[in-house]
């Protein structure tokens, strides 16, 4: 399978919008607002995986990454949303 192109895929995992995020709240309250940025109204923490994967196409690469995330439970679908996008560079 030599010569297949390598695609760069970003996986963004964050709590669902209606689920609270104490870590983001704490950063906002204790760091950002106390640091003078009173106009910052919300901070949500997410985790990003930058994946390089050999595949025939960008779609195949994203499929592989999606399967990987689900099979290996890299995120919990009950708690989090998982966005998979191709990254330019």
CB of 16 or CB of 83, closer to other proteins: 16
- Return the residues of window 27-86 that contact other proteins according to CB under 8 A: 29, 73, 76-79
Sign of the C-alpha dihedral, residues 35, 36, 39, 41?
Answer: positive
- Contact (CB, 8 A) for 51 and 70: no
Give the binding range for other proteins (CB under 8 A) out of 2-10, 12-20, 38-46, 52-60: 12-20
- Contact (CB, 8 A) for 70 and 88: no
| The two three-digit tokens of residue 58, written as one number | 């960008």
**Residues contacting other proteins: total by CB under 8 A:** 13
Residues that bind other proteins (CB under 8 A): 15, 18-22, 26, 29, 73, 76-79
């Amino acid at each position: 399978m030599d010569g297949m192109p390598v695609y760069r895929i970003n996986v963004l995992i964050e709590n669902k919008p209606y689920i609270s995020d104490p870590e983001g709240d704490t950063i906002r309250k204790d760091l950002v607002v106390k640091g003078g940025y009173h106009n910052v109204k919300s901070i949500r923490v997410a985790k990003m995986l930058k994946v390089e994967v050999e595949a025939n196409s960008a779609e195949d690469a994203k499929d592989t990454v999606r399967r990987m995330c689900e099979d290996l439970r890299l995120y919990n679908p009950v708690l989090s949303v998982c966005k998979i996008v191709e990254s330019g560079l």
